[in-house]
A = this chain, B = another copy of it.
Amino acid sequence: MSVTLKQLAASLGLSPTTVSRALNGFPEVNAATRKRVEDAAARANYHPNTRAKSLATGRAQAIAHVIPVSTSHEIVNPVFADFIAGAGETYARNGYEMILRVVNDDDETQAYRDLLARGSVDGVMVHGPRTFDPRIKLLTELGLPFLVHGRTSGVNTPYSWLDINNQRSFHRATQFLCDFGHRRIALINGLQDMDFAARRRNGYLQALEGAGIAPDPALIRHAEMTEPYGYRAAQEMIQLTEPPTAFLASSMIVAYGIRRGLSDLGLKLGRDISVITHDDELSYLPNDGDVPMFTATRSSVREAGRRAANMLLQLVGQPGTGPLTELMETTLVLGASTGPVRNCA
């Protein structure tokens, strides 16, 4: 169905060796010959068979993203999709294939072993790290190059990661609210054991402490970041004897839920109550314009995907490279959802 190197070589009266070298830029081939080969290759729409090539070279030219699905945590969320898209762009540009493997939660370990044993990939991207994530140890032992999107606290061996500064982000957002006079600030966070959630909570707690405010457990929630979760959290907290005057949301989706919960009670964001959310800059949930709807800690997860992929490719391309890390700062954008505390709320 498609032309092979051997056929191409035969049609040119050359050996496969020479054709291979001509196409791969080796020096020991005559310039005229090279040109002839390249032209013929283009004309025949010749592309080397990936399988054969990687079998011969030992490099798979592919990166895997393993996606565990479970009943407890849904990793296939919008943020994940955008990250993948960013990473995919980078892989494509560098001639790497991106393979996605959807596995059952408890098969994840086996999936990495399998990927390695089958020689299907040169490296893997680790998604959604927990506070204590066993995958780092496993992958290190396996010797499979990997990069973590996020970090994990309970690991002391070095590893490569790219993360946003979750702690500083939420520290700053909290501080911002405190400066406006808020003292009852709710945190509607992601799942408890997710590392990013822990860091955000830390930033939040530190800022409260800095402002001399004792944290109230009733104002802190952890759960899967769905819209109804935000809705319920907002509605329930408002009923407290001492309700919050401001909310911190871990994602736009949650923020939308909070907004709905509050507006159903007749509360207007920015006037009656304040909300700051983290904004991953997802295309279908834009939070921009002259005055964005939400005040937010902003960072493009798509860009994160691009950079993470670049780092991983570097790791794969130059083994021996020490662990690579990058901490992306977020920007605090002012939107219409925050204002000074209003006592008669």
The interface of chain A, by Cβ under 8 A from chain B, is 1-3, 45-52, 54-55, 60, 62, 67, 69, 74, 76-78, 80-82, 84-85, 88-89, 91-92, 97-103, 113-114, 116-120, 143, 224-228, 253, 256, 259-260, 263-264, 283-286
Contact = CB atoms under 8 A, between A and B. Distances in A.
A54 B118 CA distance: 11
A224 B284 CA distance: 8
B51 A119 contact: yes
A130 to B, nearest CB: 19
A101 B100 contact: no
Contact of A76 (B69, B85, B260, B285): B85
A309 B55 CA distance: 28
A227 B253 contact: no
Given A52-B55, A92-B102, A284-B225, A97 B120 contact: yes
A108 to B, nearest CB: 12
Contacts of A260: 256, 259-260, 263
A3 B80 CA distance: 34
A100 B100 CA distance: 7
Nearest to A49: B119
26 contacts: A1-B116, A2-B117, A46-B117, A49-B118, A49-B119, A50-B120, A51-B51, A51-B54, A51-B55, A55-B55, A62-B99, A74-B283, A77-B81, A81-B81, A89-B102, A92-B103, A97-B99, A97-B120, A98-B100, A225-B284, A227-B256, A227-B284, A227-B285, A228-B286, A253-B284, A253-B285
B50 A118 contact: yes
A305 to B, nearest CB: 10
A152 to B, nearest CB: 23
A314 to B, nearest CB: 19
A76 B83 CA distance: 10
B88 A102 contact: yes
B50 A226 contact: no
Contacts of A118: 2, 47-50
B84 A100 contact: yes
Contacts of A47: 114, 117-118
Given A91-B102, A100-B100, 20 more contacts: A2-B116, A2-B117, A2-B118, A3-B117, A49-B55, A50-B118, A50-B120, A51-B51, A51-B54, A51-B55, A51-B60, A52-B55, A85-B102, A92-B103, A98-B101, A99-B99, A226-B283, A226-B286, A263-B263, A263-B264
B76 A81 contact: yes
Contacts of A82: 76
Contacts of A49: 55, 118-119
A151 B74 CA distance: 29
Nearest to A76: B85
A54 B253 CA distance: 43
Contacts of A285: 226-227, 253
